[in-house]
């Protein structure tokens, strides 16, 4: 069953990336995301005009599909930085949601943090040549070297990072930067980073990023929070997995994003939206370490999987050619999204074949059992993860 949706025009979106993928003229708007799922925030539409959510509620059970999908698949097109953010664990979401309900905070209020009771682990896979992101907190010794490059302007931050417990020091530094009491120091560090970037060296890219972020978010403490984070550029086909509590921000590029179906976001800068510093610090995992890059694991010729430690979703990439069709067993309700070429998709029970071109998607109910792929191109298959 084909799915369609309208791009969401957030300020950080790209005016060209989605149009180029789909081979159409740009709309003139900043197109940021296209959602392929039943999330009520922007449910996809089926051919008879109903939303996918309405279709699942009325007819999904007869096909073995759940009333709600456990995952949400998106195309994400970033021309500038998204907000720095982290997502709660499921237990944290349940407690936080109940607390805000008890306090009478409306579900759609701007200051509402927990809009549902679910966690939101996510996976982003680059389909542009490169995709740039901030993901997780850098090893603290490296961060201390970076902060030293800011000279006297960086000393207040350096003092926050002197403790013996690296995670506690990083949590404290983030809390201090976002507290509202460090604005003069934030301003001084942003200025010092611009000067230090001109000298090149080990962290030239990180320091240059400060200038780019500050151009769009002047005086935002998140610009300095970014200096504590891993800056990474992945290549087409590589992914980044973001578990609960990991601080992250996508910066530039086009990707396929798959996440648990949730809208719970704790922001930590680079945004005019509500920031609850205390709650961010409560859900934050400040453990420093390397970026969790996910490389596709080849299962068969043209078929690869992005392994993640969650049950909500699983993502596979299928590349087919004239002499190389593919057939896959599906584990539940699935969504197939094309990102290159022209791929024909058919289920075991379907009489019709759906032809997918880049940016087009199709929903497959569990009773299809297997999906058959032919033609010449690339698709991504989202479905529930293994138990």
Could you give the residue numbers annotated as active site?
A: 267
How many angstroms separate the CA atoms of 121 and 91, rounded? Answer: 13
Who contacts 184 (Cβ-Cβ below 8 Å, separation ≥6)?
none
How many angstroms separate the CA atoms of 62 and 213, rounded? Answer: 50
* CA-wise closest residue to 214 among 191, 181, 180: 191
| Count of beta carbons in the 10 Å neighbourhood of residue 106 | 10
Q: Which helix (H) or strand (E) holds 335?
A: strand 334-347
Q: Which helix (H) or strand (E) holds 102?
A: helix 90-102
How many angstroms separate the CA atoms of 48 and 347, rounded? Answer: 20
How many angstroms separate the CA atoms of 266 and 136, rounded? Answer: 14
For tokens 């996910």, what's the residue?
A: 294
Report in angstroms the alpha-carbon separations of 263 from 88, 180, 259, 294: 10, 26, 10, 23
Q: Which residues are paired to 266 by β-bridges?
A: 86
48: left (phi over 0), alpha (psi -120 to 50) or beta: alpha
Q: Kindly report the backbone phi and psi dihedral angles of residue 225, in degrees, each rounded to the nearest multiple of 5, phi listed first.
A: -55, -35
Who contacts 323 (Cβ-Cβ below 8 Å, separation ≥6)?
none
* CA-wise closest residue to 21 among 377, 336, 317: 377
Q: Could you tell me how far CA 340 lies from the centroid of its own chain?
A: 21
How many angstroms separate the CA atoms of 360 and 379, rounded? Answer: 10
CA angle 143, 273, 53 (to 5 degrees): 110
């Amino acid at each position: 069953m084909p799915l369609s949706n309208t791009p969401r025009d957030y300020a950080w979106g790209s005016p060209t990336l989605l149009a180029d993928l789909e081979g159409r003229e740009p709309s003139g708007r900043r197109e940021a995301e296209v959602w392929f799922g039943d999330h009520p925030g922007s449910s996809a539409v089926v051919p008879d005009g109903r939303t996918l959510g309405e279709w699942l509620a009325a007819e999904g059970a007869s096909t073995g599909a759940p009333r709600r999908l456990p995952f949400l698949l998106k195309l994400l097109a970033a021309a500038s930085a998204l907000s720095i953010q982290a997502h709660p664990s499921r237990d944290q979401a349940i407690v936080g949601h109940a607390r805000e309900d008890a306090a009478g905070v409306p579900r759609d209020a701007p200051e509402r943090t927990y809009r549902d009771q679910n966690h939101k682990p996510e996976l982003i896979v680059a389909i542009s040549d490169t995709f740039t992101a901030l993901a997780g907190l850098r090893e603290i010794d490296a961060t201390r070297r970076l902060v030293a490059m800011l000279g006297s302007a960086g000393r207040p931050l350096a003092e926050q990072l002197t403790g013996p417990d690296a995670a506690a020091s990083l949590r404290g530094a983030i809390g201090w930067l976002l507290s509202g009491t460090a604005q003069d120091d934030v301003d001084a560090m942003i200025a010092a980073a611009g000067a230090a970037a001109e000298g090149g060296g080990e962290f030239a890219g990180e320091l240059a990023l400060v200038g780019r972020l500050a151009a769009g978010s002047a005086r935002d403490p998140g610009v300095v929070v970014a200096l504590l984070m891993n800056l990474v550029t992945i290549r087409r086909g590589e992914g980044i997995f973001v578990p609960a509590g990991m601080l992250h921000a996508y910066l530039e590029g086009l990707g396929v994003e798959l996440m648990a179906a949730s809208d719970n976001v704790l922001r930590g800068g680079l945004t005019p939206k509500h920031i609850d510093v205390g709650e961010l610090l409560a859900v934050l995992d400040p453990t420093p370490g390397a970026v969790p890059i996910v490389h596709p694991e080849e299962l068969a010729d043209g078929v690869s999987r992005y392994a993640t430690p969650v049950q909500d979703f699983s993502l596979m990439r299928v590349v087919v050619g004239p002499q190389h069709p593919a057939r896959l067993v599906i584990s539940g309700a699935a969504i197939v999204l094309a990102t290159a070429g022209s791929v024909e998709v058919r289920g075991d029970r379907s009489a019709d074949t759906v032809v997918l071109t880049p940016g087009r998607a199709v929903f497959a109910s569990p009773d299809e059992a297997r999906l058959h792929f032919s033609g010449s191109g690339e698709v991504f298959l989202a479905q529930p993860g293994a138990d």
